[in-house]
Amino acid sequence: MAVRGQRNPYAVLGVEPTASAVQITSAFRKLVRTLHPDSQPEQPSARRQERLDEVVAAYATLRDPRRRAEYDAKRTRAVAARRAREPRAARVGVRPANGYAVVSLGVRLRPPVPSAPLRAGPVRIEPFLGR
């Protein structure tokens, strides 16, 4: 399983989250061939070894279907939690209707009591002049 602070295994291997097991294995083998210390002995190996360890850890997470499902579930929960914390921006749209400009905020407002009128503050309606 990916440890906090560790990079996204899909990004490490360079594959999409929808990649098949064959695509993941192929990407892993390609990276191991290029990062292996014996492939280019003249290059400094400290950074390459660190990157190789990252690739091996990412492959260990993604090759096992159970660990991959756990990681995907954790990632989905994290994205949902992050979206829940973000303030929702109101989408504003203006369209002409019967000579007036109708402003839609993109947020569905409900009165506290279903039969009560909805009060959303001062509203100013101006004639729509169009282009």
pLDDT of the chain, 131 residues: tens digit per residue: 444 556 899 999 999 999 999 999 999 999 999 888 777 777 767 788 888 899 999 999 999 999 999 999 998 888 888 877 766 555 555 566 666 655 555 555 555 556 655 555 555 555 555 55
Query: Residue 2: what pLDDT?
Result: 44
Return the DSSP state at 113.
S
Q: Which two tokens stand for residue 76?
A: 């989905």
Return the DSSP state at 35.
H
CA neighbor of 6 nearest in space, from 71, 86, 80, 64: 71
Query: Residue 1: what pLDDT?
Result: 46
Check: CB of residue 93 under 8 Å from CB of residue 106. yes
Query: Residue 36: what pLDDT?
Result: 83
Specify the pTM: 0.58
CA neighbor of 22 nearest in space, from 12, 11, 30, 33: 30
Check: CB of residue 100 under 8 Å from CB of residue 129. no
Check: CB of residue 32 under 8 Å from CB of residue 60. no
